[in-house]
Amino acid sequence: MGKIKILTEKVANQIAAGETIESTASIIKELIENSIDAKASQIDIILEQNGLNKITIKDNGIGMDPEDIHCCFFRHATSKIESLSDLSTITSYGFRGEAISAIASVCKMTITSRSASSQFAIKISLMGEKLINTSRAGRSIGTTVDIESLFFNTPVRLKFLKDSSSELKKIEDIIKQFSLANHNIHYRLFLNEYLKLNLIPIKSIKELQPRIIDCLNKDLTNHLFYFEKKTSNFLLNGFLSSPYISRKDSLGLLTYVNNRFIKSSILIQSIKIAYDTLMQNSRYPLGVLFFYIQPEYIDINIHPQKAQIKFLHTDDIQKDLILSIKSFLSNTPWSYNLNKESNSTLKNNLINISPVLKNKRERLFPITESHNALLKQEKEKYCDLKFIGQIFNTFLILEKSHTLILIDQHAAHERINFERLNMQKNKIIPSRRLLFPQIITVSRVDLLTLLEKIKIFSEYGFELEPFGASQVCIKSIPIELSDSQAKTLILNTLSDLHTENWPTSLISFSNKIISTIACHASIKAGQHLKTIEVKSLLSQLDAINYSTHCPHGRPVTYAISSQTIAKWFSRT
């Protein structure tokens, strides 16, 4: 006798509900999405016992006609699509027609709704998809959904619900996430009849900063900056933090695609790479990114809760995204000297520390007219500040009105050299031939990757040749890299390619080489500088973008106010 059986529709629906409905928070998410799709301008979420006893979602949207109310409980009943081709033009939150059916299968659900064309509302109650009652009701235009006896028929799911306080925190986070993308809606959260959360409508995205700070639970005042960028592929706007504020994980980055909150590794990775030389490799900035793209270039139908997304033309999108964010970061809005004048040049003189270092820098970083043309002069520059002195032969001290500015001389010169070499990427980086070529063992897949990209490696000073079926011979490397650094860099780049696409890996690869060369060519900590050398360093620092951090993400400057110093001495 055969063992395979076809599940009943009831069991199938409960399994499907398990993919979509995990908790009270996931129910509220689905119902808020329905309210937004219904063009609601006010959404009330009312909870009893943090939602474990009862959930009510009330909106003032367009409501439903009587015919639609009776149909909405059926699985795959939707007003958003009719054919498969419609999936490529979806702009609404819901489209599968699964949420209401999935929720109704695991609770007692009552829907009361009225449209503008009806003189009265229709009220329908179900218990685990079984119809209990249908009646007329009084209600203004809009919809109310009541959820009770949640997971009454799936005790295992009920047992695994987190404690009520934890569920409440998730619910608050979800409401706040919606309030960022759909900030023109009034959201209210009531807990046992008490107003817990009141998020009033916000007209402009530029006024979102206080709400973002509240969502991220971190003091980002004066560290969060608005940006916007339009390309041929997408529209981008949002708020990102200065490199001084970071986390060890990406939880402080909220990313939206077409106003839908999405956990997108592509977007997160792009932001991290854009900050690559502004903060340490293990850190992430904070902020909110809104990404708008034509629906036909994305696939939202890959995850039960629509929490993930796939992009078409990922490489092109990611390259443009990285460049867009880097362009915003190049303005260094967090720098203490914000006022910039464009279309002017600043004369550059290499620092004459010693004949040996001077020759090295002239060989690696010749000043070109094209470089001069890109430089910007600032109204308030480092070189115009009062130079107090050098301490520990490592840090420079400057005075600016009521502020002391400390500058790490090595980090500053490293950033200067990095920017100059970065502008010369189209030129081949000087290399040296190894007296004893190195042999490294790689997988067959990595060997094929190396062979495909061997020309690009050569542009960065590497001469590589296949050596047998699974080995590579390193004959030449960039002149400023040691043998071990070069070997590690190649292996790390190959490793990156397993988790990143090539454009992303190439940016990281390029930055690693250039930052290493810049580091070796820079003034060292512990090196005494003459005043004229300090002035020259400061002039060059004034002339570049990204002057606040070295390529490895360490800060170049640190400011201490006179008030802070006064507090050290108990002066008020």
Question: How confident is the model over 464-499, as pLDDT tens digits?
Answer: 999 988 899 999 998 878 898 889 888 888 887 766
Minimal CA–CA distance to 317: which of 400, 232, 395, 389? 232
**Rounded Cα–Cα distance for residues 247 and 233 (Å):** 30
Hey, CA dihedral for 494, 495, 501, 507, is it positive or negative?
negative
Q: At CA 414, angle to CA 408 and CA 415, rounded to 5?
A: 90
pLDDT-derived band at 381 (thresholds 50, 70, 90) equals confident
**Rounded Cα–Cα distance for residues 524 and 277 (Å):** 19
Calculate mean pLDDT across residues 5-26.
69
- The label of the residue with tokens 């046992």 reads 192
Q: What is the predicted pLDDT for the residue at 372?
A: 36
Cα end-to-end distance, the chain, whole Å: 90
Minimal CA–CA distance to 556: which of 424, 429, 419? 419
- The label of the residue with tokens 């996931």 reads 26
Regarding predicted confidence, which is higher, 374 or 222? 222
Calculate mean pLDDT across residues 553-557.
89
Domain ranges of the chain: 9-199, 205-329, 340-424+522-568, 431-478+481-520
Q: What is the predicted pLDDT for the residue at 369?
A: 36
Calculate mean pLDDT across residues 419-423.
84
Position 516: which residue type?
A: T
Minimal CA–CA distance to 252: which of 222, 294, 223, 231? 223
Minimum mean pLDDT range among 1-5, 237-241, 284-288? 1-5
Q: Which fold has domain 340-424+522-568?
A: formyl-coa transferase, domain 3 (3.30.1540)
- The label of the residue with tokens 């903060």 reads 279
Q: Is the pLDDT of residue 8 over 60?
A: yes
Q: Is the pLDDT of residue 1 over 70?
A: no
* CA–CA distances in Å: residue 163 to residues 169, 191, 205, 547: 10, 16, 35, 48
* CA–CA distances in Å: residue 310 to residues 262, 305, 544: 11, 14, 37
Q: How far out from the chain centre does Cα 16 lie?
A: 31
Q: What is the predicted pLDDT for the residue at 429?
A: 78
**Rounded Cα–Cα distance for residues 340 and 318 (Å):** 29
Calculate mean pLDDT across residues 328-350.
46
Helix (H) or strand (E) holding 172, with range, is helix 164-181
Minimum mean pLDDT range among 70-74, 176-180, 423-427? 423-427
**Rounded Cα–Cα distance for residues 418 and 480 (Å):** 13
Calculate mean pLDDT across residues 331-336.
62
Minimum mean pLDDT range among 36-40, 189-193, 422-426? 422-426
Calculate mean pLDDT across residues 23-41.
93
Minimum mean pLDDT range among 120-134, 489-503, 515-529? 489-503
Q: Is the pLDDT of residue 525 over 70?
A: yes
Sheet holding 121-127, edge to edge: 130-137, 121-127, 108-114, 142-148, 54-59, 42-48, 186-191, 194-199
Q: Is the pLDDT of residue 34 over 60?
A: yes
The answer to pTM > 0.75 is no
- The label of the residue with tokens 């110093």 reads 565
Q: What is the predicted pLDDT for the residue at 406?
A: 96
CATH number of 205-329: 3.30.230.10
- The label of the residue with tokens 């992430």 reads 284
* Residue % of the chain over a pLDDT of 70: 81
**Rounded Cα–Cα distance for residues 201 and 432 (Å):** 62
Residues near 517 by beta carbon (within 8 Å), at least 6 away in sequence:
364, 417, 421, 429, 478, 479, 480, 481
pLDDT tens-digit profile of 91-115? 677 656 678 888 888 899 999 999 9
pLDDT-derived band at 364 (thresholds 50, 70, 90) equals very low
Q: At CA 237, angle to CA 235 and CA 240, rounded to 5?
A: 145
CATH 3.30.1370.100 assigned to domain 431-478+481-520? The reply is yes
Classify domain 9-199 at the CATH superfamily level.
Answer: Histidine kinase-like ATPase, C-terminal domain (3.30.565.10)
Regarding predicted confidence, which is higher, 482 or 202? 202
Q: Is the pLDDT of residue 337 over 50?
A: no
Q: Is the pLDDT of residue 84 over 80?
A: no
Regarding predicted confidence, which is higher, 159 or 299? 299
**Strand-pair category, 108-114 with 142-148:** antiparallel
Calculate mean pLDDT across residues 405-417.
95
**Rounded Cα–Cα distance for residues 275 and 325 (Å):** 8
